[in-house]
Amino acid sequence: MSGAFREREPEGVVSPAERAAAELAATWSVGPDGVWAAPGRVNLIGEHVDYNGGRCLPMALTRVTAAAVRRRNDDRVRLSSDAPEAAPFEGRLTELGPGAVDGWAAYVAGTLWALREAGVDVPGMDVAVASDVPVGAGLSSSAALECAVALAAAGLAGRTDDPQLRHQVVQAAIRAENEVVGAGTGGMDQTVAMLAEEGAALLIDTRDFSTAPVRLRLADAGLVLVVIDTRVTHTLADGQYAQRRRDCEQAARELGLAQLGEATADDLERLTDPRLRARARHVVGEIGRVDRVVELVAAGRMAEIGPLLDASHASLRDDYEVSAVELDTVVAAATGAGALGARMTGGGFGGSAIALVPEAVVADVERAVVDACARRGLTTPATLVVTSGGAARRLS
């Protein structure tokens, strides 16, 4: 059993909200005006389609990043985190844009900058964050960070928490990642962090970013979702993400389409470059799998989505080429030990996989993924049983 982290924490663990408030007091010597939080996510299916006008089906985790904030009477922004490697940051509101900040603070500074650009009257503030979303595991700890602080800043600015604000926060967080942090994102992570509903996955149609909750009822089906964190992130991942986006744009151009998500299976034959054809085959196939999964889940046939998860993984591994030996190993081990289906989740090149597992064999699957990695001399993975949590919110 790996058990490095599990969804049900032992008694007495201090929550991210309490840790954030303690960090605010310890670093900036102030108490909070309020504490806000936003969740990490896993994507059930619909990978690398959110920048192609496709559909994806992520769900929010119950794990969150919390932001404790205190309004200031000047134009300064001071940020700190209780993560040991995250150095504090101080700057002026007018100094938060592209090129001004790097490291973890760029996610926060960039989001505050983009919110201001969008017309939200962000005040000077002291911010402290704490998280129980594992960082670097492909569970969108960055979107959780951006969305928690952005909602907090809007709250301090006196903005009502309504759908319009939530969409503004999503757009600001996407802009921050693309223009300030310099990491590509298609918007799935920020959208689910702001709009998720507890107990449901969120169907996102990235043609217009409209959303619809899809109730999962996993427990009724005797099923559990297990996240397997390979604890490995391969370098060059950022460059590879941008390269995949360029491949998709080129394929769409060659087909005369605005976005590759509009392509049909017949269109694929018209792509002469084998690499572009393989990328497009993934995108077209994956969008079809999302639609099929949504139909099955809505019909209460959750157990039948397993083969679609397996097919998604194979497509990401062979056609989209974003998997990694660690991901392939844990996916094969999970299905070999009784998971109904498993796939890498998120951007790839390491990070996490998910497995749909009958309750009775969860321990077998957890043991199998650890053993399989040990046999191949790979880093020991950690497992996390997840349930679907709610969207970003004010906690106190």
Positions 172 through 211 that interact with ligand GLA (CB under 6 A):
185-189
In angstroms, give the least distance from the CB of 323 to ligand GLA.
12
Whether 189 is a known active-site residue: answer: yes
Between 331 and 337, name the residue whose CB sits nearer to ligand GLA: 331
Are 44 and 201 within 8 A, CB to CB?
Answer: yes
C-alpha–C-alpha distance, residues 44 and 341, integer Å:
11
Residue 143 vs 330, nearer CB to ligand GLA: 143
Instruction: State in angstroms the smallest separation of the CB of 176 from ligand GLA.
Output: 12
Give the SS3 label for residue 43: strand
**Least Å from the CB of residue 78 to ligand GLA:** 27
148 vs 188 by CB, closer to ligand GLA? 188
Kindly tell me which of 193 and 276 has the beta carbon lying closer to ligand GLA: 193
Which residue stretch of 1-9, 46-54, 248-256, 330-338 sits at the interface with ligand GLA (rule: CB under 6 A)?
A: 46-54
Helix (H, G, I), strand (E, B) or coil at 143: helix
Q: Out of 32, 306, 346, 350, which residue is the one contacting ligand GLA (CB under 6 A)? A: 346
Binding to ligand GLA by residue 347, rule CB under 6 A? yes
Determine contact, residues 152/34, Cβ cutoff 8 Å. yes
Return the residue of 20, 42, 47, 171 that touches ligand GLA, per CB under 6 A: 47
Query: What letters, b where the CB count within 10 A reaches 16 and e where it falls short, cover 119-137?
Result: ebebbbbbbbbbbbbbbeb
Task: Considering the complex, state which of residue 43 and residue 81 has its C-beta at the smaller distance from ligand GLA.
Answer: 43
Positions of E strands within the chain: 34-43, 55-56, 58-71, 76-81, 89-92, 125-131, 200-205, 210-215, 223-233, 341-345, 350-358, 382-386, 393-394
Q: Considering beta carbons, is residue 50 or 229 the nearer one to ligand GLA?
A: 50
Amino acid at 325: V
- Catalytic residue, chosen from 50, 126, 132, 189, is 189
Give the range of 16-24, 45-53, 122-130, 154-162 binding ligand GLA by CB under 6 A.
Answer: 45-53
Amino acid identity at 39: P
Using a 10 angstrom Cβ sphere, with 0-12 exposed, 13-18 middle and 19 or more buried, the burial of residue 390 is middle
Q: How far is the CB of 48 from ligand GLA (least distance, A)?
A: 5
Helices (H) then strands (E): counts for the chain: 10, 13
**Per CB under 6 A, does 110 bind ligand GLA?**
no
CB of 346 to ligand GLA, least distance (A): 5
CB of 343 to ligand GLA, least distance (A): 11
244 is an interface residue for ligand GLA by CB under 6 A: no
Total residues contacting ligand GLA (rule CB under 6 A)?
12
What is d(CA 190, CA 104) in angstroms, rounded to the nearest whole number?
16
Question: Out of 48, 175, 279, 313, which residue is the one contacting ligand GLA (CB under 6 A)?
Answer: 48
Closer to ligand GLA by Cβ: residue 15 or 240:
240
Q: CB-based contacts of 299: which residues, under 8 Å, 6+ apart?
A: none
Could you tell me the end-to-end alpha-carbon distance of the chain, in angstroms, rounded to an integer? 37
Q: Are strands 125-131 and 76-81 parallel, antiparallel or unpaired?
A: parallel
CB of 199 to ligand GLA, least distance (A): 23
- Residues of this chain that interact with ligand GLA (CB under 6 A) are 43, 47-48, 50-51, 185-189, 346-347
Catalytic (active-site) positions: 189
